[in-house]
Amino acid sequence: MSNRLNAELIFKNELLVKLNQICRLDGGLHKGRFPSAVVYTKSPGFFINVFYSFLLRVASAFSFLILFCFRVPSGSNPESAFIYVDRRRLKFSEGDCPAYNIGLYKYFSVFREDHVYQLLSLREVLRCLVDAFSRRRLMAEDIMRMRGITQFSGKQLLALSGFSYLRCLDLLLAKTALSKFQRIKCAGHFDVYTALMSQLRQDGSIKNFSGIQHGLFENFWFGEPAPLFFDEYKLLFPESRRYFEQRLSANPNCVFHVREKMPIFEHCAAIGITVGVALQTDDEASDARLLDALQVIARGRFSLLAYAHPAAPAKGLAKLHVRFPDIRFERKLRCSNVAVVITRYSTLAMEYVAAGVPAIFWAAPDRVCVSFSGHPLIHEITELDMLPEVLNTILPPS
């Protein structure tokens, strides 16, 4: 069993995701160092990101103080656990093992009894606190020497990772707590904790690691992802399997399952042809460009129905309502009588594909995984200028 944490493998996928997100922002990447908070503020402005990075570190430090001073006594450790970062992933827990939150950055979440760090003894917390001083330098060197991410210096990658003493401490706490389990399930794929669990499985610290797909994997602009070692993997969509096997799986003997999910659609009152648009939350500017392009193409030929992401902020949705008063927006209702669904990478489009409705993915260089499946109902465009031609092959002639 290795005691060494390979920060290069742990952080690589997170960094690739962040680089994709930054490149979608207006203004793109700036030269020099860029703080990790840019993915939270969604602004390339340097000073606002420095300030927000500082607030995130203060929050993590406060969380650690809560963990250190106000611990919730825990009973015996279970052999199996479902680990989640975002509470929205709890819906993937199958109830056959207890679910635990992980990470310091969730502010006061460490005070809850269902946080995995509550399984640590005070002695283990103190040991991690001391070890982080010596481990920090070695892990920072791993990140700066990272292979397979092109165009960026080691200092830029280190800044984007937000690596600090607190992030090192967080990973040591996570490693110590996760090593208490024999079997772990999670619904993550590109965060540092999933990469850490994969590393623990490979070095024998845990005996079984199972994953559940929670969204569509993306293709990265600046390198290939670090493979993850799963013993079992439950796919949300079978069309994702080719991408997973070729780009993400480190275990050639991984056993695949497909998660059974019956999409619920309702018949909606509509006149003529309806085209659905599944919006995202990460890039309002791109969603607005897509709606602008579709309004020009529609011109009385079809009506537009925009599906808001369940996590979309009300303020952003209100802006779209004002900008596009002729488009119908829905947050919960899913209509069955749409002719085609267009999106950047929403999983809702794949639910329509399962129901026999074509989907068009507007793919930047970070193509979604289902684009590699060869499914006849999945179409892909790289430029919005290509959209009218593809729509003409799907919709009846006007």
SS (H, E, C) 7-47: HHHHHHHHHHHHHHHHHHCCCCCCCCCCCCCHHHHCCCCHH
Predicted local distance difference test score (pLDDT) of residue 198: 96
Residue 263 lies in a domain: no
| CATH number of the domain residue 371 falls in | 3.40.50.2000
252 and 338 together in one domain: no
- pLDDT, greater one: 36 or 380: 380
223 and 299 together in one domain: no
User: Residue 392: is its pLDDT beyond 80?
Assistant: yes
220 and 313 together in one domain: no
Percent of the chain with pLDDT over 70: 88
Percent of the chain with pLDDT over 90: 27
Predicted local distance difference test score (pLDDT) of residue 262: 65
Average pLDDT over residues 64-82: 74
Token pair 């040991």: residue: 127
Residue 364 lies in a domain: yes
129-184 pLDDT, tens digit per residue, is 999 999 999 999 999 988 888 778 888 888 888 888 989 999 999 999 999 999 99
192-216 pLDDT, tens digit per residue, is 999 999 999 999 999 999 999 988 8
Q: Which of 275, 279, 265, 267 minimizes the C-alpha distance to 301? A: 275
Of the residues 226, 258, 290, the one at which a domain ends? 258
Residue 264 lies in a domain: no
In which domain, by residue range, is 364 found?
Answer: 274-394
Span of 35-49, 328-342, 355-369, 377-391 with lowest mean pLDDT: 35-49
Cα→Cα distances 361→137, 206, 387, 391, Å: 42, 38, 10, 12
Q: Given pLDDT bands bounded at 50, 70 and 90, which one contains residue 25?
A: low
Q: Give the SS3 label for residue 361.
A: strand
Is 233 in contact with 211 (CB distance < 8 Å)?
Answer: yes
Average pLDDT over residues 264-275: 78
11 and 89 together in one domain: yes
Q: Give the SS3 label for residue 171.
A: helix
User: Residue 26: is its pLDDT beyond 70?
Assistant: no
Residue 47 lies in a domain: yes
245 and 288 together in one domain: no
287-328 pLDDT, tens digit per residue, is 888 888 898 888 878 888 888 877 777 777 778 888 888 888
The gap from C-alpha 264 to its chain's centroid, in whole angstroms, comes to 24
The full DSSP string for 329-355 is EESS--BS--SEEEESS-HHHHHHHHT
Average pLDDT over residues 225-240: 92
For the chain, the average pLDDT equals 83
190 and 329 together in one domain: no
Predicted local distance difference test score (pLDDT) of residue 112: 67
Residue 345 lies in a domain: yes
User: Residue 383: is its pLDDT beyond 70?
Assistant: yes
Q: Both tokens of residue 91?
A: 């819906």
249 and 278 together in one domain: no
Residue type, 53: S
181 and 306 together in one domain: no
Of the residues 258, 284, 303, the one at which a domain ends? 258
245 and 293 together in one domain: no
User: Residue 107: is its pLDDT beyond 50?
Assistant: no
- The Cα diameter of the chain in Å comes to 72
User: Residue 363: is its pLDDT beyond 90?
Assistant: no
Predicted local distance difference test score (pLDDT) of residue 34: 62
Predicted local distance difference test score (pLDDT) of residue 366: 61
280 and 227 together in one domain: no
* H or E element that contains 256: strand 255-258
Average pLDDT over residues 248-256: 93
Is 352 in contact with 258 (CB distance < 8 Å)?
Answer: no
User: Residue 248: is its pLDDT beyond 70?
Assistant: yes
Domain total in the chain: 2
Span of 9-18, 26-35, 195-204 with lowest mean pLDDT: 26-35
Tell me the HSE value of 245 on the side-chain side, using a 13 A CA sphere.
12
